[in-house]
Amino acid sequence: MHENDSEDHEAEEYVGLADFLAEGDEQRLHLEMLSDKPRTDTYRQVILSNSASLRGKVVMDLGCGTGVISLFCALLAQPAAVYAVEASSMAEHTEELVKQNSCEEVVTVFQDRAENLTLPGKVDVLVSEWMGNCLLFEYMLESVLLARDRWLKEGGMMWPSSACLTVVPCQAFSDYSQKMEFWEKPYGLDFSYLQSLAQKEFLSKPKFSHHLLTEDCLSAPADVITLDMVTIQVSELERLKGEFSFSVEKSGMFHGFTVWFSAHFQSLEEDGPSLELNTGPYSEITHWKQTLFMLDAPVTVEEGDIIVGSILLQRNPIWRRHMSVSFSWNINGTEVSKVQTKCFPMWR
């Protein structure tokens, strides 16, 4: 074998390994999502509770993944057609799953991006599970809105119909202790010099998959940003701002803010029940959990204190799937407590 042949063979093996690892990551992702019972059951319940109204309708399931929502539609309702749209190579497996569940007469899989999609015609319902951490992270919502503008019939239904971002000031003793207090006297040694480095490393980024205990909420949570899925435009995703005013309900340490979202599903019937998927600490835990944003240093707060401020979600102008989350806040509006600000880049 020539040296170049050997290099080519190694390159082929490397590409094959990369593909294999990517498929493994994708499989883990789908396992995580399908194992998320509140998430998957909510979509199933939405289809089931609207099954009579879905009869004869055309449904698009955008970013369908394994096609679980498409299969729910086909098996629990009687739609005229379901268009299962998936841009990744998972679409090949989705086609097999559709056949395995005997739904190929109703469900058609399209492997394409929303921007390039060609369908047989417009749809009555556009359903998608597009939500990310802090609601918008990874911005799959842009693809959903592009598909809506091109393929949803006038007066058609979006599922979710609306989505909401929720914030609460919170305590986070365990996280602060592990990341900051640890450096004070580990093994009886003074490592406090490293605390400033730890602050930059650990407190400058949000903590994904945070499990907030309800007793660590310092006040009632507040809905700060609401998206109407019928009216919101892609251009509005560049910058979304919400205001908040919290009344502290118990004295404690204000370590930061915890954020989560809820998605709301309007009924196809005028007086039908709407359903909600809530990823907050007062609901059954989902794979998203919550997202924690920690202050540089905790602040003691007393019952009755008022925390006023805002949250700003700003899309990265270059890396379009990423964003920054900025908080501004003031406690009791006094000169002693000036307005504080902190910006967190959200990357993977």
Residue-wise pLDDT tens digits, 132-171:
999 999 999 999 999 999 999 999 999 999 999 999 999 9
Domain assignment present for residue 191? The answer is yes
Domain assignment present for residue 260? The answer is yes
Domain assignment present for residue 244? The answer is yes
Q: Kindly report the CA angle at 18 between 13 and 24, in degrees rounded to 5?
A: 125
Note the pLDDT of residue 348.
64
Domain assignment present for residue 77? The answer is no
pLDDT digits (tens, 9 = 90+) for 42-63: 999 999 999 999 999 999 999 9
| 3-class SS string, the chain | CCHHHHHHHHHHHHHHHHHHHHHHHHHHHHHHHHHCHHHHHHHHHHHHHCHHHHCCCEEEEECCCCCHHHHHHHHHCCCCEEEEECCCCHHHHHHHHHHHCCCCCCEEEECCCHHHCCCCCCEEEEEECCCECCECCCCHHHHHHHHHHHHEEEEEEEECCEEEEEEEEECCHHHHHHHCHHHCCHHHCCCHHHHHHHHHHHCCCCEEEECCCHHHECCCCEEEEEEECCCCCHHHHHEEEEEEEEECCCCEEEEEEEEEEEEEECCCCCCCCCEEEECCCCCCCCCCCEEEEEEEEEEEECCCCEEEEEEEEEECCCCCCCEEEEEEEEECCCCCCCCEEEEEEECC
Q: Which of 86, 95, 129, 142 is labelled catalytic?
A: 129
249 carries an active-site annotation = no
Q: Which of 86, 138, 249, 284 is labelled catalytic?
A: 138
Note the pLDDT of residue 193.
73
Q: Is 294 exposed, middle or buried (0-12, 13-18, 19+ CB in 10 A)?
A: buried
pTM above 0.75, yes or no: yes
Domain assignment present for residue 188? The answer is yes
Domain assignment present for residue 262? The answer is yes
The total number of structural domains that make up the chain: 1
Q: How far apart are the first and last CA of the chain?
A: 42
pLDDT digits (tens, 9 = 90+) for 172-224: 999 888 787 776 777 888 887 777 777 777 889 999 999 999 999 999 999 99
Above pLDDT 90, what percent of the chain? 78
pLDDT band at 337; cut points 50, 70, 90: low
Domain assignment present for residue 247? The answer is yes
Note the pLDDT of residue 39.
96
Residue span of the structural domain in which 250 resides: 162-348
Note the pLDDT of residue 10.
44
pLDDT digits (tens, 9 = 90+) for 67-94: 999 999 999 999 999 999 999 999 999 9
Domain assignment present for residue 224? The answer is yes
303 carries an active-site annotation = no
Note the pLDDT of residue 275.
98
CATH assignment of the domain containing 248:
2.70.160.11
